[in-house]
């Protein structure tokens, strides 16, 4: 009964999140149309398929964890705090996932372009002064970029994330970081609990001391390969879930380390991709005469770890935007 209640709770929360994201996103983008004029339009390729897929996958993983591992671990008298930790991480993850989806990333419009121009210094390499967006016909503030999916310019543009159906910019990077951190932690926690269950099961049942008969009819001591095969045949769903969350933890963990590195050095994915690479000396961002000296991009926006993190978690909001709120 407890399993059913937890699953229904997640299902209801998922449905509410999808409805809120759909309604609020459309309202937010329509508002952008009114404020920005003709240069903005609704997302031509925007859809909620990846959001729904994300929530369905997350719900499937938690359903398997609840139905299989949670019950077995309770019978083996595992600590309830460890077993409930993935659910706590799930709630935090869904909250910041929703905030990432719904928060304005820092859309640049005619009403606020002059204010955004004063936030960051132009480096005259990657972000030249007096540049204009050919699509929006707006002056481009430093560190901004036009998103081809959303069809608008975003302040401190990082990337467009299909999983949240939104750009990651100055005003929602903090939510994206916490969402990614809790998502990675929840996958890692489930992997640890699943591994502890299987190891505990092997130790309690003395499986590692057993012998088996090979194809030639000879008795053999239990080895790790045969033990994994035995566990997979006995608990196929748990072993498959363990393999999935382990791979997911490694992938998310690697990406999280990259995102934390960008945050610590005050870079965006867009700037890192176009920035100080070896080939950038041969193919600089700014078009220049062949006789000119090569211009290599340098990160002029990094001011130390704590100031960089403070800029992400306490982003600069133009005065006009604060007044509207």
- Catalytically annotated residues: 161
246 Cβ contact partners less than 8 Å away, ≥ 6 residues apart: 191
According to DSSP, residue 69 is labeled I
Distance (Å, whole) CA 19 – CA 92: 19
Q: Is residue 184 exposed (0-12), middle (13-18) or buried (19+ Cβ within 10 Å)?
A: buried
Distance (Å, whole) CA 271 – CA 151: 19
Residue 302 · residue 308 · CB < 8 Å: yes
Residue 166: name the closest of 119, 98, 120 by CA: 98
Paired with 168 in beta bridges are 159
Assign residue 174 a region: left if phi > 0, alpha if psi is -120 to 50, beta otherwise?
Answer: alpha
């Amino acid at each position: 009964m407890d399993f059913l209640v937890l699953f229904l709770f997640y299902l209801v929360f998922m449905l509410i999140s999808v409805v809120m994201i759909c309604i609020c996103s459309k309202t937010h983008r329509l508002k952008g149309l009114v404020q920005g004029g003709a240069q903005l339009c609704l997302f031509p390729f925007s859809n909620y398929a990846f959001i729904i897929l994300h929530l369905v996958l997350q719900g499937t993983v938690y359903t398997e964890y609840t139905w299989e591992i949670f019950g077995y671990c309770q019978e083996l008298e595992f600590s309830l705090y460890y077993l409930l930790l993935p659910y706590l991480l799930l709630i935090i993850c869904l909250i910041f996932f929703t905030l990432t989806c719904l928060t304005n990333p820092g859309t640049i419009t005619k009403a606020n372009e002059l204010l955004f121009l004063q936030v960051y210094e132009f480096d005259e390499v990657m972000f030249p002064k007096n540049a204009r967006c050919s699509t929006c016909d707006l002056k481009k503030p430093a560190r901004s970029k036009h998103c081809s999916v959303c069809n608008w310019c975003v302040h401190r543009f990082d990337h467009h994330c299909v999983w949240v159906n939104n750009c990651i910019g100055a005003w929602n990077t903090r939510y994206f970081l916490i969402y990614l951190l809790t998502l990675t932690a929840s996958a890692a926690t489930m992997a640890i609990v699943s591994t502890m269950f299987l190891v505990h099961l092997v130790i309690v049942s003395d499986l590692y001391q057993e012998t088996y008969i090979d194809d030639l009819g000879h008795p053999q001591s239990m080895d790790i390969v045969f033990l994994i095969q035995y566990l997979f045949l006995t608990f196929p769903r748990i072993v498959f879930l363990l393999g999935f969350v382990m791979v997911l933890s490694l992938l998310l963990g690697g990406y999280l380390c990259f995102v934390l590195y960008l945050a610590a050095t005050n870079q965006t994915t867009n700037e890192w991709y176009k920035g100080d690479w070896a080939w950038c000396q041969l193919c600089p961002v700014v078009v220049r005469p062949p006789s000119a000296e090569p211009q290599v991009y340098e990160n002029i926006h990094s001011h130390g770890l704590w100031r960089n993190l403070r800029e992400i978690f306490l982003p600069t909001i133009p005065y006009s935007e604060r007044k509207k709120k």
